[in-house]
Amino acid sequence: MKQFILLALITAFTSLAARSQQADEALGQWLSEEKDGKIEIYKTGNKYFGKLVWASRMYMEDGKTPRKDEKNPNPDLRTRNLKDLVILTNFIYDDGVYSEGKIYDPKSGKTYSCKMTMNGDKLSIRGYVGISMFGRTTVWTRSK
């Protein structure tokens, strides 16, 4: 009986470790589909987030002055820099899908419900309003 319990514990631990490793596959830097932005996905606790670390229009024409989050619907947030702006929030990994998160589009100032799935070195991101059927998918590529 002790051997069975030990075997069951080892199997459960191995399964959890493998699942955790799969979940962490999204960690790292990703290029947007248009190649005009680089997003770094990171983990805090058991949730996944993403921040904008580079964008083709991150600075004003002088190349020094950071662009602000000017399209944000909240006037108090319009003074935030685009650099390091968190655009992916509160994703939970479950069975191959990062779900229950939100994606913020600084180009429009809109926030959408979102889910993400890995496919090799590609990350499919589905932003939607209400249900997933009413949305759009974009594919990001892992940055080297």
pLDDT less than 70: residues of the chain: 1-21
Q: Which residues contact 121 (CB under 8 A, 6 or more apart)?
A: 141, 142
Q: Which tokens sit at 70?
A: 């000017």
pLDDT of residue 97: 97
Confirm if 99 and 90 have CB atoms less than 8 A apart: no
pLDDT in tens, 60-94: 999 999 999 999 999 999 999 999 999 999 999 99
pLDDT of residue 22: 86
Would you list the domain boundaries of the chain?
Answer: 26-142
pLDDT of residue 144: 80
pLDDT of residue 133: 86
Q: Is the pTM of this model over 0.75?
A: yes
Q: Which tokens sit at 125?
A: 């991101």
CATH fold, domain 26-142, is: Lipocalin (2.40.128)
